[in-house]
Amino acid sequence: MRVIVFGATGATGSEAVRSLRAAGHVVTAFTRRPDPTEIPADVPRVVGDVLDPAAVERAVAGHDAVVVALGIKENPLRVRLRGAAGTATAVRSKGTAHIVAAMQTHGVRRLVVLSTFGVGATRRRLSLGWRLLFWLLLRPQIADTEVQEAIVRQSGLDWTIARPVSLVDTNDRDDTDDTHDILASPDGEARSMRVPRRAVARFLADAATSTTWLERSVALSA
């Protein structure tokens, strides 16, 4: 399949690019920078801004599926106190709205979106400590993610929303540390509040290239 990844230079988006390529799919990275170091040099990329609807529409054309891993890389505390310097606070919702419109225009049906645990029905499953963290530190970003999810659910596309708990990285490229099964729960169940980032990226890649989890919001945990 031909899959385009938005947010391809982010920590999870770049892992999704690698997972898709490893599975033999033709993957395109959408990026604001022409030579991002976060993705392999031989991966085709489209340079553009997700907040530019014309650029997004041109990029989506010719693909079979879309993975959205948009987010803000900056320190959450800085963003909360001063706002995001390099990325619009509403990048998730506005970018996803442009992506959905482009997919509708070009007849691309399969959409997989990275969200977060604690949004929607999973909010009630957060501990008091996590709720306070979300409220004090991440409130604007969580609010934008709620809007993003609503756009996805109302899109009429073949969508899947992934809601991972806190993402953790491994220290090397050896996958042996995070190939264990993760819990993918459409009921919002979580085994813990940690999940390997690469395992989540593989879920995004698998979901984008299959009919599993259609119109489901799936909590992911280790």
Domain 2-221 CATH class label: alpha beta
The span from the CA of 40 to the CA of 35, in Å, is 10
- Contact (CB, 8 A) for 60 and 99: yes
167: phi then psi, degrees, rounded to nearest 5: -85, 135
Q: What is the reported pLDDT for 15? A: 97
Q: What is the reported pLDDT for 77? A: 46
Integer angstrom CA distances of residue 53 from 41, 122, 166, 206:
26, 31, 31, 27
Token match 């799919």: residue? 25
The span from the CA of 119 to the CA of 142, in Å, is 7
pTM summary value: 0.91
Three-state DSSP state, 118: coil
Cα–chain-centroid distance for residue 210? 17
Q: What is the reported pLDDT for 141? A: 87
| Neighbour tally for 42: CB within 10 Å | 6
Question: Low-confidence residues of the chain, pLDDT below 70?
Answer: 73-86, 171-180
Q: What is the reported pLDDT for 148? A: 98
Q: What is the reported pLDDT for 85? A: 61
